[in-house]
Amino acid sequence: MRAVTVLAACTALVAGCGGDTAPDRGYPELGKALRSLSRDLDGACGRAEAPVSCAEDLDRLTAPTERAFAQVLEHKLLDVGTVAAMNELDRARELRVAAAGEARSRKDPHHVPLARAVAAEKRAYQGLLDELERLRTAPPPGDGTDPL
């Protein structure tokens, strides 16, 4: 009788750990935030747009980036790659802000250093997006995919 009870308990445990009862690993809110940020980044800085107005487009990406990052923190997904991508974005933003100040003082909306800084910030945003998407879609640790 005891063996039947143990067998029933093990069966219940195994059944309870199936994929149908597991939490949604897709992080739908994070996915939504990343898609929104990606659309905003794609829409920023048209080809004929002056770097000054492009910089304004990039400034509007701060709020969606913060929402996405808050989702990463909420789900405890933060890792070294994400921190490095955020640091790279912060550095690129600082350079762009400095170049924008120089462009304003020169009254030059097509200031070449500003154009370069804007391009670097867009690349940093794309790098952050790639990193956050990697985190969102990575299998959870210990899900059976680790080598023995």
Does the residue 147 lie in any domain? no
CATH of the domain at 36: 1.20.120
- Measured distance CA(106)–CA(17) in Å, rounded: 64
Least confident of 12-26, 46-60, 74-88, 110-124: 12-26
The pLDDT tens digits for 6-51 are 333 344 444 444 444 444 567 898 999 999 999 999 888 877 788 8
Does the residue 107 lie in any domain? yes
Report the number of distinct structural domains present in the chain: 1
Range of the domain at 67: 23-136
Does the residue 5 lie in any domain? no
Does the residue 123 lie in any domain? yes
- Measured distance CA(41)–CA(124) in Å, rounded: 11
Does the residue 92 lie in any domain? yes
